[in-house]
A and B are shown apart, each in its own frame.
Chain A
């Protein structure tokens, strides 16, 4: 719009995507009926009766998952500028990036075999 002209589409997307949830909440707040019975106020558990406590112990698997994600996120950030300049560079750069990804695939296979990617 006025600032940073090349990001016109980005600003439009940002404004529309902030507007739609607000609109959704407003419409459902106006149109939905309000009846508070005892069943309505209990927690939702896919239609069945709630089993057990709502607060669970935080497990270490979640932390290991986030840790692996950090390493692969840094790898992805290094792949972005290579992808941007891919068409002006030759085949040798393709081989270099292939070696980069290959070394990290070795790490991914190690994480897989050690059971670090198990969710349950």
Chain B
């Protein structure tokens, strides 16, 4: 516990006091699980789409807890502001008669999906608990201690994006152009 506290002071992982951080973690985690259950289980698709918006807001608040404010803001802007709105617009095209009406019995496909998802879940939990996160954090960030206090995170992102990752930056614009033209061509048919 003390080692983690000192580590968090050096690397600015948590700025909040420890019990508050744990409480917010549990609170957001339970909100996330309830929201995702709501996405799957609601019969009205508009409720389902709004629950998805709630899940994405919870993920954004997780990023604030991990002290990456730029990622949190961009998550709110893109996921909640653009992609969730797109999903709600797509849901609006459904008529009222297409809503889930009759209760379908359990099929074989449901059983296979349950098996696959449970095995993925179990393997993820065991992998997360078995890796040593402290070792990874110590070895990947020793040379960034000095510059981290003087420049804010978004400025660091901007500097790295335009000097080290300049070519991916330009290729991203090409990818966005292709996505835009493709979307317009497909939607006009």
**Does B116 count as interface, using CB distance less than 8 angstroms?**
no
Main secondary structure on A side of the interface with B: helix
Cβ-defined partner of B161 (8 Å) among A69, A81, A114: A81
Is the CB–CB distance between A110 and B89 below 8 Å?
Answer: no
Is the CB–CB distance between A81 and B166 below 8 Å?
Answer: no
Contact count A vs B, C-beta below 8 Å: 126
* Chain A positions within 8 Å of B170 at CB level: 96, 99-100, 103
CB-CB under 8 A for A103 and B173, given A64-B184, A81-B155, A89-B159:
yes
Cβ-defined partner of A66 (8 Å) among B15, B82, B158, B169: B82
Is the CB–CB distance between A81 and B70 below 8 Å?
Answer: yes
Cβ-defined partner of B174 (8 Å) among A83, A93, A103, A110: A103
**Does B128 count as interface, using CB distance less than 8 angstroms?**
no
* Chain A positions within 8 Å of B173 at CB level: 75, 99-101, 103-104
* Chain B positions within 8 Å of A4 at CB level: 15-16
**Does A82 count as interface, using CB distance less than 8 angstroms?**
yes
Cβ-defined partner of B162 (8 Å) among A66, A71, A89, A111: A89
B129 CB to closest chain A CB, in angstroms? Answer: 30
* Chain B positions within 8 Å of A67 at CB level: 86, 183-184, 187
Is the CB–CB distance between B20 and A3 below 8 Å?
Answer: yes
A115 CB to closest chain B CB, in angstroms? Answer: 8
> How many A residues, CB 8 Å from partner?
42
Is the CB–CB distance between B82 and A81 below 8 Å?
Answer: no
B120 CB to closest chain A CB, in angstroms? Answer: 28
Is the CB–CB distance between A96 and B162 below 8 Å?
Answer: yes
CB-CB under 8 A for A85 and B158, given A70-B86, A73-B78:
yes
9 contacts between A and B (CB under 8 A): A63-B187, A66-B82, A74-B82, A74-B176, A85-B158, A93-B163, A103-B173, A111-B180, A116-B184
